[in-house]
Amino acid sequence: MQTLSATEVLNDPHTDFLPLQGTDYVEFYVGNAKQAAHFYKTAFGFQSLAYAGPETGVKDKVSYVIRQNKLTYVLTTPVRLNNYIADHIYKHGDGVKVLALKVDDASLAWEETTKRGGKSYLEPEKIHDEFGEAVISGIHTYGETVHLFIERKNYSGPFLPGYKKWESSYNPPSTGLLYVDHCVGNVGWNQMNVWVKFYEEVMGFRNILTFDDKDISTEYSALMSKVMSNGNGFVKFPINEPAEGKKKSQVEEYLEFYNGEGVQHIALATNNIIETVGELQRRGVEFLKIPSSYYEKVFDRVGHIDEDLKPLQKLGILVDKDDEGYLLQIFSKPLQDRPTLFFEIIQRKGAKSFRKGNFQALFEALEREQEARGNL
Ligand code: FE2
């Protein structure tokens, strides 16, 4: 395992040709956006933000935009036949289509990435309404997933041109989720390094951490992972691929049910993971179970932490550390019927990176679920 500390990445003197201000939004193609919006509001504490659909002049789809702090989700459903969104859902089930990145100049972002070999998804397009102008462009990444570059410095509307403010009298309280910490992609056999190269060459990212199949394996299955980070560390995209084992890797199970490569999980940051996860569990969000033996040696591994062990153990929250501090994290169960997308909740206390301590425990927890589904 090789690591570069987050500070080394942040202090990298090379000029960033793709300066990213962070994740702008995540768009999901889902079977029923109206119900999905209600689920994410009720269970996760998002608020209504904006809407586009037949009432706003969009004929073939509806999109609900919800927000919690700096975390913005767009939930989109087709309402007509012969529609590319319907095809996407038929093939993949509910899943992430767009990882949108906030930039200062979307035209330049498109030019810099496509000239380095990025495949264009959307040429720079200016869109406007009474609140001003936004520019959007985009490139393809793994599977049918895309990155959109969003330039909104001259726009003051609720979300983007074409969307109307969505006001609702139903506003469940926040659960303390703040922003996207990282977003993980599952890719096919021997494809991890292909996509590592893509993020390095096309988007100027750096490989800050590598887990090989010896780091993450059980008696039965294995996976490999490389963490890619942009220059300022605001955007991190770990890439997983399956590794050989006696039985089927969890990445293979994903690839089988998603019918291809795609987003495996989105990690959502909080400043108080005990409160956030406690509230999410009260609202019915299900998390992976961690065996109590995990907590027996946790202090030997990470040393002192500010939190009491009891609530962490009760909620199933894991603790890990790097050179700069520690982090607390937990994985949800899949958010739809297919064993594909799930969320991670993460609180960083100094730690800017990841270490392999938790990866093994999480891997084993995922494998127990996989076995229960008969897919191991
Ligand atoms: Fe993660």
- Do residue 151 and residue 183 come from a single domain? no
- Cα(181) to centroid of ligand 1, in Å? 8
- Do residue 17 and residue 128 come from a single domain? yes
Per-residue pLDDT of the chain (376 residues; tens, 9 = 90+): 445 555 555 445 457 999 999 999 999 999 999 999 999 999 999 999 999 999 999 999 999 999 999 999 999 999 998 899 999 999 999 999 999 999 999 999 999 999 999 999 999 999 999 999 999 999 999 999 999 999 999 999 999 999 999 999 999 999 999 999 999 999 999 999 999 999 999 999 999 989 887 777 776 678 899 999 999 999 999 999 998 887 788 899 999 999 999 999 999 999 999 999 999 999 999 999 888 888 888 888 888 899 999 999 999 999 988 888 999 999 999 999 999 999 999 999 988 777 666 777 777 888 888 888 988 8
Residue 203 lies in a domain: yes
- Cα(110) to centroid of ligand 1, in Å? 27
Out of 147, 165, 183, a domain closes at: 165
CATH number at residue 352: 3.10.180.10
Query: 223 has which bridge partners?
Result: 242
- Do residue 136 and residue 206 come from a single domain? no
Q: Which domain holds residue 349?
A: 175-373
- Do residue 131 and residue 210 come from a single domain? no
Contacts by 295-304, CB closer than 8 A, 24 or more apart: 301/357, 302/326, 302/357
- Cα(346) to centroid of ligand 1, in Å? 8
Give the pLDDT confidence score for residue 230 in this predicted structure: 96
- Do residue 127 and residue 180 come from a single domain? no
Q: What's the structural domain count of the chain?
A: 2
- Do residue 141 and residue 277 come from a single domain? no
Residue 79 lies in a domain: yes
Residues in the chain: 376
- Do residue 156 and residue 179 come from a single domain? no
- Do residue 354 and residue 310 come from a single domain? yes
Most distant CA atoms of the chain, gap in Å? 60
The closest alpha carbon to 362, from 330, 325, 314, belongs to 330
Out of 115, 142, 165, a domain closes at: 165
Residue 170 lies in a domain: no
- Cα(43) to centroid of ligand 1, in Å? 20
- Cα(31) to centroid of ligand 1, in Å? 25
- Cα(85) to centroid of ligand 1, in Å? 27
The answer to whether the beta carbons of residues 161 and 133 sit under 8 Å apart is yes
From CA 221, how far away is CA 251, in angstroms rounded?
A: 10
- Cα(348) to centroid of ligand 1, in Å? 12
Give the pLDDT confidence score for residue 361 in this predicted structure: 77
Residue 117 to residues 112, 201, 240, 262, Cα–Cα distance (Å): 9, 8, 22, 20
- Cα(5) to centroid of ligand 1, in Å? 17
- Do residue 161 and residue 260 come from a single domain? no
- Cα(333) to centroid of ligand 1, in Å? 13
- Cα(123) to centroid of ligand 1, in Å? 31
- Cα(183) to centroid of ligand 1, in Å? 7
- Cα(351) to centroid of ligand 1, in Å? 14
Give the pLDDT confidence score for residue 1 in this predicted structure: 45
- Do residue 143 and residue 292 come from a single domain? no
- Cα(265) to centroid of ligand 1, in Å? 7
Write out the two tokens for 68: 């919690």
- Cα(247) to centroid of ligand 1, in Å? 23
- Do residue 136 and residue 192 come from a single domain? no
- Do residue 201 and residue 118 come from a single domain? no
